[in-house]
């Protein structure tokens, strides 16, 4: 069902395909609230990167696929790697972040 599970990173094009599946993976946005309020993908769940260690095991499903998103892909890669080390084996980072999403998938999402 999720052919990209082994990859720690997915492209924005792969993320778009995965988000269109049923059930869709959780889209986890790890940016700061001001960034999320500036630009976000509809349906994303905001948990800022610095809150992940305290909230992940309470709010995220270890069995569910998780796509992690940030601005350019560095924070999301770090969080996806951390999540995998915590037993969230289906966590993946969206390479290029919301910046790449805007440029290649949805130009209505603001750049910042």
Cite the DSSP H helix spans in 25-108.
33-38, 52-59, 74-85, 97-104
Does the pLDDT value for residue 3 go beyond 80? no
Under the banding of pLDDT at 50, 70 and 90, the label for residue 91 is very high
10, 70, 79, 100: the catalytic one is 70
**Residue 68: active-site member:** no
Number of H helices, E strands in the chain: 5, 5
**Does the pLDDT of residue 6 top 80, yes or no?**
no
Q: What's the pTM value of the predicted model, to 2 decimals? A: 0.94
Superfamily of domain 9-104 in the CATH hierarchy: Rhodanese-like domain (3.40.250.10)
| Cis previous bond, 74, omega within 30 | no
């Amino acid at each position: 069902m999720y052919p990209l599970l082994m990859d720690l990173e997915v492209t924005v094009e792969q993320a778009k395909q995965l988000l269109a599946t049923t059930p869709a993976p959780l889209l986890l946005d790890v940016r700061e609230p001001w960034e999320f309020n500036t630009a976000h993908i509809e349906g994303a769940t905001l948990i800022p990167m610095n809150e992940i260690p305290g909230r992940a095991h309470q709010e995220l499903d270890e069995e569910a696929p998780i796509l992690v998103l940030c601005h350019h892909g560095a924070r999301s890669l770090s969080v996806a790697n951390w999540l995998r080390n915590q037993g969230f084996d289906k966590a993946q980072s969206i390479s290029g972040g919301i910046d790449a999403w805007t440029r290649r998938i949805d130009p209505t999402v603001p750049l910042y």
